[in-house]
Amino acid sequence: MLAQKQAEEAIVSSSFNETDQQESVLGKEEEQEQDHSFSVKNFLWHGGSVWDAWFSCASNQVAQVLLTLPYSFSQLGMLSGILLQIFYGILGSWTAYLISVLYVEYRTRKEKENVNFKNHVIQWFEVLDGLLGPFWKALGLAFNCTFLLFGSVIQLIACASNIYYINDNLDKRTWTYIFGACCATTVFIPSFHNYRIWSFLGLGMTTYTAWYLTIAAIVHGQAENVTHSGPKKLVLYFTGATNILYTFGGHAVTVEIMHAMWKPQKFKYIYLLATLYVFTLTIPSASAVYWAFGDELLNHSNAFSLLPKNGFRDGAVVLMLIHQFITFGFACTPLYFVWEKVIGMHDTRSICLRALARLPVVIPIWFLAIIFPFFGPINSAVGALLVSFTVYIIPSAAHMLTYRKASARQNAAEKPPFFMPSWTAMYILNAFIVVWVFVVGFGFGGWASMTNFIRQIDTFGLFAKCYQCKPPPPLMVAAPPPHALHH
Protein backbone atom coordinates (compact mmCIF):
# COMPACT_ATOMS: atom_id res chain seq x y z
CA MET A 1 0.00 0.00 0.00
CA LEU A 2 2.84 2.39 0.91
CA ALA A 3 4.71 1.52 -2.28
CA GLN A 4 1.59 2.19 -4.36
CA LYS A 5 1.08 5.57 -2.68
CA GLN A 6 4.74 6.51 -3.31
CA ALA A 7 4.38 5.51 -6.94
CA GLU A 8 1.29 7.69 -7.36
CA GLU A 9 3.06 10.65 -5.73
CA ALA A 10 6.02 10.16 -8.06
CA ILE A 11 3.70 10.19 -11.09
CA VAL A 12 1.97 13.36 -9.91
CA SER A 13 5.31 15.02 -9.11
CA SER A 14 6.77 14.22 -12.52
CA SER A 15 3.64 15.45 -14.27
CA PHE A 16 3.95 18.84 -12.61
CA ASN A 17 7.44 19.28 -14.03
CA GLU A 18 5.84 19.97 -17.40
CA THR A 19 4.57 23.45 -18.02
CA ASP A 20 1.46 24.19 -20.03
CA GLN A 21 2.21 27.56 -21.51
CA GLN A 22 1.62 28.72 -25.07
CA GLU A 23 5.22 28.00 -26.06
CA SER A 24 6.72 25.57 -28.54
CA VAL A 25 8.97 23.92 -25.95
CA LEU A 26 7.74 21.82 -23.05
CA GLY A 27 8.37 23.19 -19.59
CA LYS A 28 10.75 20.50 -18.40
CA GLU A 29 12.94 20.87 -21.44
CA GLU A 30 12.73 24.64 -21.09
CA GLU A 31 13.82 24.47 -17.45
CA GLN A 32 16.82 22.37 -18.45
CA GLU A 33 17.60 24.95 -21.11
CA GLN A 34 17.37 27.68 -18.47
CA ASP A 35 19.84 25.77 -16.31
CA HIS A 36 22.44 25.14 -19.00
CA SER A 37 22.24 28.11 -21.33
CA PHE A 38 21.76 31.84 -21.15
CA SER A 39 20.18 34.22 -23.60
CA VAL A 40 18.63 37.65 -23.39
CA LYS A 41 15.28 36.24 -24.48
CA ASN A 42 15.29 33.61 -21.72
CA PHE A 43 16.34 36.17 -19.13
CA LEU A 44 13.68 38.75 -20.01
CA TRP A 45 10.83 36.67 -21.40
CA HIS A 46 10.71 33.10 -20.05
CA GLY A 47 9.80 33.23 -16.37
CA GLY A 48 8.42 30.25 -14.50
CA SER A 49 10.50 30.01 -11.35
CA VAL A 50 9.47 30.48 -7.73
CA TRP A 51 11.11 33.90 -7.79
CA ASP A 52 9.09 34.90 -10.87
CA ALA A 53 5.88 33.97 -9.07
CA TRP A 54 6.98 35.91 -5.97
CA PHE A 55 7.74 39.02 -8.01
CA SER A 56 4.39 38.70 -9.81
CA CYS A 57 2.43 38.38 -6.55
CA ALA A 58 4.28 41.19 -4.76
CA SER A 59 4.15 43.50 -7.78
CA ASN A 60 0.47 42.87 -8.43
CA GLN A 61 -0.63 43.26 -4.82
CA VAL A 62 -0.01 46.99 -4.41
CA ALA A 63 -0.33 49.63 -7.11
CA GLN A 64 -2.50 52.76 -6.99
CA VAL A 65 -3.84 51.65 -3.59
CA LEU A 66 -0.42 52.54 -2.13
CA LEU A 67 -1.38 56.18 -2.64
CA THR A 68 -4.81 55.82 -1.01
CA LEU A 69 -3.78 53.95 2.15
CA PRO A 70 -2.90 57.19 4.02
CA TYR A 71 -6.45 58.34 3.22
CA SER A 72 -7.73 55.07 4.73
CA PHE A 73 -5.61 55.71 7.85
CA SER A 74 -7.29 59.10 8.27
CA GLN A 75 -10.64 57.28 8.31
CA LEU A 76 -9.51 54.43 10.57
CA GLY A 77 -6.90 55.97 12.84
CA MET A 78 -3.28 54.81 13.12
CA LEU A 79 -3.83 51.72 15.30
CA SER A 80 -6.76 50.29 13.33
CA GLY A 81 -4.99 51.02 10.05
CA ILE A 82 -1.93 48.99 11.01
CA LEU A 83 -3.84 46.13 12.65
CA LEU A 84 -6.29 45.75 9.75
CA GLN A 85 -3.44 45.64 7.24
CA ILE A 86 -1.84 42.78 9.15
CA PHE A 87 -5.20 41.02 9.64
CA TYR A 88 -6.36 41.18 6.02
CA GLY A 89 -2.85 40.48 4.75
CA ILE A 90 -2.77 37.20 6.70
CA LEU A 91 -6.34 36.30 5.68
CA GLY A 92 -5.50 37.04 2.05
CA SER A 93 -2.38 34.88 2.23
CA TRP A 94 -4.43 32.02 3.67
CA THR A 95 -7.10 32.15 0.95
CA ALA A 96 -4.36 32.37 -1.71
CA TYR A 97 -2.97 29.17 -0.17
CA LEU A 98 -6.43 27.58 -0.45
CA ILE A 99 -6.64 28.55 -4.11
CA SER A 100 -3.24 26.94 -4.74
CA VAL A 101 -4.37 23.74 -2.99
CA LEU A 102 -7.54 23.56 -5.08
CA TYR A 103 -5.55 24.18 -8.27
CA VAL A 104 -3.17 21.30 -7.47
CA GLU A 105 -6.15 19.07 -6.61
CA TYR A 106 -7.91 19.88 -9.89
CA ARG A 107 -4.81 19.43 -12.01
CA THR A 108 -3.87 16.18 -10.30
CA ARG A 109 -7.31 14.71 -10.93
CA LYS A 110 -7.32 15.80 -14.57
CA GLU A 111 -3.83 14.52 -15.32
CA LYS A 112 -4.79 11.13 -13.87
CA GLU A 113 -7.49 11.18 -16.57
CA ASN A 114 -4.73 11.90 -19.14
CA VAL A 115 -5.97 15.43 -19.81
CA ASN A 116 -3.25 17.45 -21.52
CA PHE A 117 -3.01 21.16 -20.64
CA LYS A 118 -0.45 22.04 -23.28
CA ASN A 119 -1.50 25.31 -24.97
CA HIS A 120 -4.23 25.78 -22.35
CA VAL A 121 -4.01 28.06 -19.31
CA ILE A 122 -6.05 26.77 -16.37
CA GLN A 123 -8.19 29.46 -14.74
CA TRP A 124 -10.01 29.73 -11.41
CA PHE A 125 -13.49 29.18 -12.85
CA GLU A 126 -12.29 25.95 -14.50
CA VAL A 127 -10.91 24.73 -11.15
CA LEU A 128 -14.29 25.43 -9.53
CA ASP A 129 -16.09 23.70 -12.39
CA GLY A 130 -13.92 20.58 -12.20
CA LEU A 131 -14.18 20.27 -8.41
CA LEU A 132 -17.70 21.56 -7.62
CA GLY A 133 -19.71 21.80 -10.83
CA PRO A 134 -21.23 24.40 -13.21
CA PHE A 135 -22.90 26.58 -10.55
CA TRP A 136 -19.56 27.33 -8.91
CA LYS A 137 -18.01 27.83 -12.34
CA ALA A 138 -20.59 30.53 -13.12
CA LEU A 139 -20.09 32.10 -9.68
CA GLY A 140 -16.32 32.23 -10.00
CA LEU A 141 -16.48 33.49 -13.59
CA ALA A 142 -18.95 36.27 -12.77
CA PHE A 143 -17.11 37.62 -9.72
CA ASN A 144 -13.60 37.27 -11.15
CA CYS A 145 -14.36 38.82 -14.53
CA THR A 146 -16.33 41.71 -13.02
CA PHE A 147 -13.58 42.41 -10.50
CA LEU A 148 -10.86 42.28 -13.18
CA LEU A 149 -12.91 44.48 -15.51
CA PHE A 150 -13.35 47.21 -12.92
CA GLY A 151 -9.76 46.78 -11.76
CA SER A 152 -8.58 47.51 -15.30
CA VAL A 153 -10.84 50.58 -15.52
CA ILE A 154 -9.40 51.84 -12.21
CA GLN A 155 -5.86 51.62 -13.56
CA LEU A 156 -6.69 53.73 -16.62
CA ILE A 157 -8.41 56.41 -14.55
CA ALA A 158 -5.54 56.36 -12.03
CA CYS A 159 -3.02 56.88 -14.85
CA ALA A 160 -4.83 60.03 -15.99
CA SER A 161 -5.16 61.26 -12.41
CA ASN A 162 -1.47 60.78 -11.61
CA ILE A 163 -0.02 62.31 -14.77
CA TYR A 164 -2.19 65.36 -14.14
CA TYR A 165 -0.03 66.14 -11.09
CA ILE A 166 2.95 66.55 -13.43
CA ASN A 167 1.33 68.03 -16.52
CA ASP A 168 -2.03 69.75 -16.29
CA ASN A 169 -1.83 71.24 -19.77
CA LEU A 170 -4.05 68.37 -20.91
CA ASP A 171 -7.28 67.44 -19.15
CA LYS A 172 -7.73 64.02 -17.56
CA ARG A 173 -10.02 62.75 -20.32
CA THR A 174 -7.33 63.41 -22.93
CA TRP A 175 -4.76 61.64 -20.76
CA THR A 176 -7.18 58.67 -20.52
CA TYR A 177 -7.25 58.49 -24.35
CA ILE A 178 -3.45 58.45 -24.43
CA PHE A 179 -2.96 55.85 -21.69
CA GLY A 180 -5.75 53.68 -23.06
CA ALA A 181 -3.79 53.40 -26.29
CA CYS A 182 -0.59 52.61 -24.35
CA CYS A 183 -2.25 49.94 -22.20
CA ALA A 184 -3.79 48.31 -25.26
CA THR A 185 -0.29 47.06 -26.15
CA THR A 186 -0.63 44.44 -23.37
CA VAL A 187 -2.54 42.32 -25.91
CA PHE A 188 0.88 41.28 -27.26
CA ILE A 189 2.02 39.64 -23.97
CA PRO A 190 0.96 35.98 -24.33
CA SER A 191 0.69 34.94 -20.66
CA PHE A 192 2.04 35.45 -17.13
CA HIS A 193 4.95 33.27 -18.19
CA ASN A 194 6.18 36.36 -20.08
CA TYR A 195 5.90 38.95 -17.32
CA ARG A 196 9.33 38.25 -15.79
CA ILE A 197 11.01 41.62 -16.40
CA TRP A 198 7.76 43.57 -15.92
CA SER A 199 7.13 42.02 -12.50
CA PHE A 200 10.68 42.77 -11.40
CA LEU A 201 10.47 46.38 -12.57
CA GLY A 202 6.98 46.82 -11.11
CA LEU A 203 8.09 45.82 -7.63
CA GLY A 204 11.07 48.16 -7.85
CA MET A 205 8.73 51.01 -8.78
CA THR A 206 6.34 50.47 -5.88
CA THR A 207 9.31 50.08 -3.51
CA TYR A 208 10.69 53.46 -4.61
CA THR A 209 7.27 55.14 -4.35
CA ALA A 210 6.55 53.71 -0.90
CA TRP A 211 9.88 54.84 0.54
CA TYR A 212 9.58 58.21 -1.21
CA LEU A 213 6.23 58.72 0.56
CA THR A 214 7.76 57.68 3.90
CA ILE A 215 10.89 59.85 3.68
CA ALA A 216 9.11 62.85 2.11
CA ALA A 217 6.48 62.85 4.88
CA ILE A 218 9.13 62.63 7.63
CA VAL A 219 11.25 65.39 6.04
CA HIS A 220 8.16 67.56 5.60
CA GLY A 221 7.28 67.09 9.26
CA GLN A 222 3.87 67.50 10.81
CA ALA A 223 1.66 70.12 9.19
CA GLU A 224 0.73 73.17 11.24
CA ASN A 225 -2.12 72.47 13.67
CA VAL A 226 -2.28 68.85 12.51
CA THR A 227 -5.00 66.71 14.12
CA HIS A 228 -5.47 62.95 14.21
CA SER A 229 -9.11 62.52 15.18
CA GLY A 230 -9.94 59.24 13.39
CA PRO A 231 -11.94 57.17 13.71
CA LYS A 232 -14.88 59.58 13.94
CA LYS A 233 -17.75 58.01 12.00
CA LEU A 234 -18.77 54.41 11.36
CA VAL A 235 -19.31 55.12 7.66
CA LEU A 236 -15.76 56.41 7.28
CA TYR A 237 -14.34 53.60 9.42
CA PHE A 238 -15.83 50.78 7.36
CA THR A 239 -15.08 52.57 4.09
CA GLY A 240 -11.40 52.67 5.09
CA ALA A 241 -11.49 49.06 6.29
CA THR A 242 -12.93 47.97 2.94
CA ASN A 243 -10.12 49.74 1.09
CA ILE A 244 -7.60 47.72 3.11
CA LEU A 245 -9.56 44.53 2.39
CA TYR A 246 -9.23 45.51 -1.29
CA THR A 247 -5.48 46.13 -0.88
CA PHE A 248 -4.70 42.47 -0.20
CA GLY A 249 -7.09 41.14 -2.81
CA GLY A 250 -4.88 40.33 -5.78
CA HIS A 251 -6.17 36.75 -5.93
CA ALA A 252 -8.08 37.13 -9.18
CA VAL A 253 -4.89 36.20 -11.04
CA THR A 254 -3.47 33.64 -8.58
CA VAL A 255 -4.29 30.56 -10.67
CA GLU A 256 -2.84 32.11 -13.82
CA ILE A 257 0.39 32.99 -11.97
CA MET A 258 0.58 29.42 -10.61
CA HIS A 259 0.00 27.95 -14.04
CA ALA A 260 2.94 29.99 -15.39
CA MET A 261 5.29 28.19 -12.98
CA TRP A 262 7.42 25.24 -14.01
CA LYS A 263 6.51 23.56 -10.71
CA PRO A 264 3.20 25.08 -9.53
CA GLN A 265 3.02 22.91 -6.41
CA LYS A 266 5.79 25.12 -4.99
CA PHE A 267 3.44 28.11 -4.90
CA LYS A 268 1.99 27.31 -1.44
CA TYR A 269 3.63 30.01 0.68
CA ILE A 270 4.72 32.44 -2.04
CA TYR A 271 1.77 34.77 -1.51
CA LEU A 272 2.48 34.97 2.22
CA LEU A 273 6.13 35.85 1.58
CA ALA A 274 5.02 38.47 -0.96
CA THR A 275 2.59 39.94 1.59
CA LEU A 276 5.29 40.17 4.26
CA TYR A 277 7.40 42.22 1.86
CA VAL A 278 4.41 44.40 0.94
CA PHE A 279 3.94 45.17 4.66
CA THR A 280 7.38 46.83 4.59
CA LEU A 281 6.01 49.20 1.92
CA THR A 282 2.44 49.90 2.99
CA ILE A 283 2.72 50.25 6.79
CA PRO A 284 5.64 52.74 6.94
CA SER A 285 4.37 54.89 4.05
CA ALA A 286 0.74 55.11 5.23
CA SER A 287 1.79 55.71 8.84
CA ALA A 288 4.30 58.45 7.96
CA VAL A 289 1.96 60.35 5.64
CA TYR A 290 -0.90 60.14 8.16
CA TRP A 291 1.45 61.30 10.95
CA ALA A 292 2.47 64.30 8.85
CA PHE A 293 -0.92 65.43 7.54
CA GLY A 294 -3.55 63.85 9.79
CA ASP A 295 -7.18 64.80 9.11
CA GLU A 296 -6.18 66.83 6.07
CA LEU A 297 -6.05 63.48 4.24
CA LEU A 298 -9.82 63.11 4.60
CA ASN A 299 -10.10 65.51 1.66
CA HIS A 300 -7.08 64.21 -0.27
CA SER A 301 -7.45 60.57 -1.27
CA ASN A 302 -4.20 60.64 -3.30
CA ALA A 303 -1.12 61.11 -1.13
CA PHE A 304 0.77 62.83 -3.97
CA SER A 305 -1.55 65.83 -3.71
CA LEU A 306 -0.18 66.86 -0.29
CA LEU A 307 3.53 66.40 -0.90
CA PRO A 308 5.65 69.21 -2.38
CA LYS A 309 6.25 69.17 -6.10
CA ASN A 310 9.88 68.31 -6.84
CA GLY A 311 11.95 65.88 -8.86
CA PHE A 312 11.55 63.04 -6.37
CA ARG A 313 7.75 63.33 -6.43
CA ASP A 314 7.64 63.58 -10.22
CA GLY A 315 9.87 60.50 -10.41
CA ALA A 316 7.48 58.59 -8.15
CA VAL A 317 4.52 59.67 -10.31
CA VAL A 318 6.24 58.47 -13.50
CA LEU A 319 7.19 55.14 -11.93
CA MET A 320 3.63 54.62 -10.69
CA LEU A 321 2.35 55.34 -14.20
CA ILE A 322 4.58 52.62 -15.62
CA HIS A 323 3.54 50.27 -12.84
CA GLN A 324 -0.13 50.93 -13.56
CA PHE A 325 0.50 49.86 -17.14
CA ILE A 326 1.93 46.59 -15.76
CA THR A 327 -1.01 46.20 -13.36
CA PHE A 328 -3.41 46.80 -16.24
CA GLY A 329 -1.78 43.88 -18.04
CA PHE A 330 -2.05 41.70 -14.93
CA ALA A 331 -5.77 42.47 -14.60
CA CYS A 332 -6.56 42.14 -18.29
CA THR A 333 -4.63 38.95 -19.12
CA PRO A 334 -7.13 36.59 -17.41
CA LEU A 335 -9.90 38.42 -19.28
CA TYR A 336 -7.96 37.86 -22.51
CA PHE A 337 -7.81 34.13 -21.74
CA VAL A 338 -11.55 33.92 -21.06
CA TRP A 339 -12.35 35.76 -24.28
CA GLU A 340 -9.95 33.57 -26.30
CA LYS A 341 -11.68 30.46 -24.99
CA VAL A 342 -15.10 31.88 -25.87
CA ILE A 343 -14.13 32.59 -29.49
CA GLY A 344 -11.94 29.48 -29.90
CA MET A 345 -8.59 31.30 -30.26
CA HIS A 346 -6.94 30.18 -27.03
CA ASP A 347 -4.66 27.55 -28.60
CA THR A 348 -3.50 29.82 -31.44
CA ARG A 349 0.30 30.08 -31.54
CA SER A 350 0.49 33.36 -33.50
CA ILE A 351 1.01 36.30 -31.13
CA CYS A 352 -0.34 38.77 -33.71
CA LEU A 353 -3.56 36.81 -34.26
CA ARG A 354 -4.13 36.51 -30.55
CA ALA A 355 -3.45 40.22 -30.05
CA LEU A 356 -6.02 41.06 -32.72
CA ALA A 357 -8.54 38.72 -31.09
CA ARG A 358 -7.97 40.38 -27.69
CA LEU A 359 -8.71 43.95 -28.79
CA PRO A 360 -12.50 43.62 -28.16
CA VAL A 361 -11.61 43.22 -24.46
CA VAL A 362 -9.53 46.41 -24.24
CA ILE A 363 -11.87 48.74 -26.12
CA PRO A 364 -14.85 48.50 -23.68
CA ILE A 365 -12.48 49.03 -20.70
CA TRP A 366 -11.07 52.12 -22.40
CA PHE A 367 -14.59 53.38 -23.11
CA LEU A 368 -15.78 52.77 -19.52
CA ALA A 369 -12.81 54.75 -18.15
CA ILE A 370 -13.88 57.71 -20.30
CA ILE A 371 -17.58 57.42 -19.34
CA PHE A 372 -17.00 57.00 -15.58
CA PRO A 373 -13.90 59.06 -14.68
CA PHE A 374 -15.09 59.30 -11.07
CA PHE A 375 -14.28 55.72 -10.20
CA GLY A 376 -12.28 56.73 -7.12
CA PRO A 377 -15.38 57.35 -4.95
CA ILE A 378 -16.77 53.87 -5.70
CA ASN A 379 -13.47 52.03 -5.31
CA SER A 380 -14.43 50.83 -1.82
CA ALA A 381 -17.78 49.64 -3.19
CA VAL A 382 -15.95 47.33 -5.57
CA GLY A 383 -13.92 46.04 -2.63
CA ALA A 384 -17.00 45.34 -0.51
CA LEU A 385 -19.22 43.86 -3.22
CA LEU A 386 -16.68 41.99 -5.37
CA VAL A 387 -13.37 41.46 -3.56
CA SER A 388 -15.07 40.11 -0.44
CA PHE A 389 -16.47 37.20 -2.47
CA THR A 390 -13.72 36.75 -5.08
CA VAL A 391 -10.80 36.78 -2.66
CA TYR A 392 -12.12 35.54 0.68
CA ILE A 393 -15.56 33.91 0.68
CA ILE A 394 -15.54 31.77 -2.50
CA PRO A 395 -12.06 30.17 -1.95
CA SER A 396 -12.86 29.34 1.69
CA ALA A 397 -16.30 27.89 0.90
CA ALA A 398 -14.95 25.98 -2.13
CA HIS A 399 -12.21 24.36 -0.03
CA MET A 400 -14.73 23.25 2.61
CA LEU A 401 -17.06 21.75 -0.01
CA THR A 402 -14.28 20.06 -1.99
CA TYR A 403 -13.04 18.18 1.08
CA ARG A 404 -16.36 17.66 2.84
CA LYS A 405 -16.22 13.86 2.28
CA ALA A 406 -13.82 11.55 4.08
CA SER A 407 -12.73 9.96 0.78
CA ALA A 408 -11.78 13.38 -0.65
CA ARG A 409 -9.71 14.16 2.43
CA GLN A 410 -8.04 10.79 2.37
CA ASN A 411 -7.06 11.09 -1.31
CA ALA A 412 -6.27 14.83 -1.20
CA ALA A 413 -3.30 15.88 -3.30
CA GLU A 414 -2.34 18.36 -0.56
CA LYS A 415 -2.76 17.59 3.14
CA PRO A 416 -3.31 20.30 5.79
CA PRO A 417 -0.17 22.43 6.38
CA PHE A 418 2.19 21.67 9.24
CA PHE A 419 0.72 24.41 11.47
CA MET A 420 -2.82 23.03 11.16
CA PRO A 421 -3.43 20.12 13.56
CA SER A 422 -6.32 18.62 11.56
CA TRP A 423 -8.91 19.04 8.81
CA THR A 424 -11.32 20.21 11.51
CA ALA A 425 -9.07 23.15 12.33
CA MET A 426 -9.01 24.11 8.66
CA TYR A 427 -12.81 23.95 8.54
CA ILE A 428 -13.10 26.21 11.60
CA LEU A 429 -10.71 28.79 10.12
CA ASN A 430 -12.44 28.73 6.72
CA ALA A 431 -15.88 29.09 8.32
CA PHE A 432 -14.62 32.05 10.37
CA ILE A 433 -13.34 33.77 7.21
CA VAL A 434 -16.66 33.24 5.38
CA VAL A 435 -18.71 34.65 8.27
CA TRP A 436 -16.35 37.52 9.12
CA VAL A 437 -15.93 38.78 5.55
CA PHE A 438 -19.63 38.36 4.74
CA VAL A 439 -20.73 40.33 7.82
CA VAL A 440 -17.92 42.89 8.16
CA GLY A 441 -16.56 43.16 4.62
CA PHE A 442 -19.68 42.67 2.50
CA GLY A 443 -22.29 43.77 5.04
CA PHE A 444 -20.85 46.74 6.94
CA GLY A 445 -18.35 47.54 4.18
CA GLY A 446 -21.05 47.48 1.51
CA TRP A 447 -23.32 49.70 3.63
CA ALA A 448 -20.53 52.22 4.30
CA SER A 449 -19.22 52.37 0.74
CA MET A 450 -22.68 52.73 -0.81
CA THR A 451 -23.61 55.42 1.74
CA ASN A 452 -20.42 57.28 0.89
CA PHE A 453 -21.14 56.83 -2.82
CA ILE A 454 -24.71 58.19 -2.52
CA ARG A 455 -23.49 61.24 -0.59
CA GLN A 456 -21.10 62.13 -3.40
CA ILE A 457 -23.32 61.23 -6.33
CA ASP A 458 -24.15 64.88 -7.05
CA THR A 459 -20.49 65.53 -7.85
CA PHE A 460 -20.37 62.91 -10.62
CA GLY A 461 -20.76 63.56 -14.31
CA LEU A 462 -20.63 61.13 -17.22
CA PHE A 463 -17.85 61.84 -19.72
CA ALA A 464 -16.46 64.50 -17.34
CA LYS A 465 -13.62 66.30 -19.06
CA CYS A 466 -11.55 66.73 -15.92
CA TYR A 467 -13.11 65.22 -12.78
CA GLN A 468 -11.95 66.86 -9.50
CA CYS A 469 -9.52 69.13 -11.31
CA LYS A 470 -8.66 72.54 -9.97
CA PRO A 471 -10.93 75.25 -11.41
CA PRO A 472 -9.38 77.50 -14.05
CA PRO A 473 -8.19 80.89 -12.81
CA PRO A 474 -10.78 83.67 -13.23
CA LEU A 475 -10.48 85.81 -16.30
CA MET A 476 -8.92 89.17 -15.53
CA VAL A 477 -10.88 92.05 -17.02
CA ALA A 478 -8.53 94.75 -18.18
CA ALA A 479 -9.06 98.11 -16.48
CA PRO A 480 -10.02 100.98 -18.79
CA PRO A 481 -7.20 103.41 -19.65
CA PRO A 482 -7.01 106.46 -17.35
CA HIS A 483 -8.07 108.90 -20.04
CA ALA A 484 -11.30 106.95 -20.62
CA LEU A 485 -12.46 107.79 -17.09
CA HIS A 486 -12.76 111.46 -18.00
CA HIS A 487 -15.30 110.86 -20.78
**Interior/surface letters 326-349, b for 16+ CB within 10 angstroms, e for the rest:** bbbbbbbbbbbbbbbeeeebbeee
Distances (CA, A) of 363 to 153, 181, 233, 348, 368: 11, 9, 40, 21, 9
Task: Tell whether 467 is covered by a domain.
Answer: no
Residue 467: per-residue pLDDT? 64
CA separation for the pair 198, 139 (Å, rounded) = 31
Containing structural domain, residue 128 = 48-460
41 within some domain:
no
pLDDT by residue (tens digit) across 311-327? 899 899 889 888 888 88
Which pLDDT score, from 0 to 100, does residue 179 have? 85
What's the pLDDT at 29?
Answer: 35
Name every residue whose Cβ is closer than 8 Å to that of residue 13 and which is 6 or more positions away in sequence. 265
The answer to whether position 183 is within a domain reads yes
In this structure, is residue 269 part of a structural domain?
Answer: yes
**Hey, CA dihedral for 432, 433, 435, 436, is it positive or negative?**
positive
CATH number at 134 reads 1.20.1740.10
pLDDT at 394: 95
pLDDT at position 463: 67
Predicted confidence at residue 471, as pLDDT, reads 60
| pLDDT value of position 430 | 96
Considering the domain boundaries, does residue 13 fall inside one? no
3-state SS of the chain? CHHHHHHHHHHHHHHCCCCCCCCCCCHHHHHHHHHHCCCHHHHHHCCCCHHHHHHHHHHHHCCCHHHHHHHHHHHHCHHHHHHHHHHHHHHHHHHHHHHHHHHHHHHHHHHHCCCCCCCCCCCHHHHHHHHHCHHHHHHHHHHHHHHHHHHHHHHHHHHHHHHCCCCCCCCHHHHHHHHHHHHHHHHHCCCHHHCHHHHHHHHHHHHHHHHHHHHHHHHHCCCCCCCCCCCCCHHHHHHHHHHHHHHCCCHHHHHHHHHCCCCHHHHCCHHHHHHHHHHHHHHHHHHHHHHHHHHHHHHCCCHHHHCCCCHHHHHHHHHHHHHHHHHHHHHHHHHHHHHHHHHCCCCCCCHHHHHHHHHHHHHHHHHHHHHCCCCHHHHHHHHHHHHHHHHHHHHHHHHHHHCCCHHHHHCCCCCCCCCCCCHHHHHHHHHHHHHHHHHHHHHHHHHHHHHHHHHHHHHCCCCCCCCCCCCCCCCCCCCCCHHHHHC
Give the C-alpha separation, 388 to 263, whole Å.
Answer: 29
Model confidence over 65-123: pLDDT tens digits? 888 899 999 999 999 999 999 999 999 999 999 999 999 999 999 988 888 887 788 89
What is the predicted pLDDT for the residue at 468? Answer: 60
The candidate with the shortest Cα–Cα distance to 209, out of 79, 331, 65, 51, is: 65
The number of domains in the chain is 1
Q: Does residue 21 form part of some domain?
A: no
Domain-embedded: residue 367: yes
pLDDT beneath 70: ranges in the chain? 1-47, 374-379, 457-465, 467-487
The answer to whether residue 468 is domain-embedded is no
